[in-house]
Amino acid sequence: MPTEIEQMLEAARNKPMTREEQEGQRRSFAYGNAHIENAAVTREMVNEAADKIGQR
């Protein structure tokens, strides 16, 4: 019998992500990688850059 956590994981696997969720994941990934290389990088900087790219 699956545990509660296994049931939640299975539900998460089968739930499609919205465009907003995908964009949030993309920005989070970009921030995490950039911040490792340069601690001065902020989430605001990543959001501003992503917004500029989206305007093209």
Q: What is the pLDDT of residue 31?
A: 98
> What are the boundaries of each domain within the chain?
18-56
Q: What is the pLDDT of residue 2?
A: 83
Helices (H), the chain: 4-14, 19-37, 43-54
Q: Running along the chain, 56 residues long, what does each successive block of 10 average in pLDDT?
A: 91 94 97 97 98 86
Q: What is the pLDDT of residue 20?
A: 95
16-45 b/e (C-beta count within 10 Å ≥ 16 → b) = eeeeeeeeeeebeebbeebeeeeeebeeee
Q: What is the pLDDT of residue 39?
A: 97
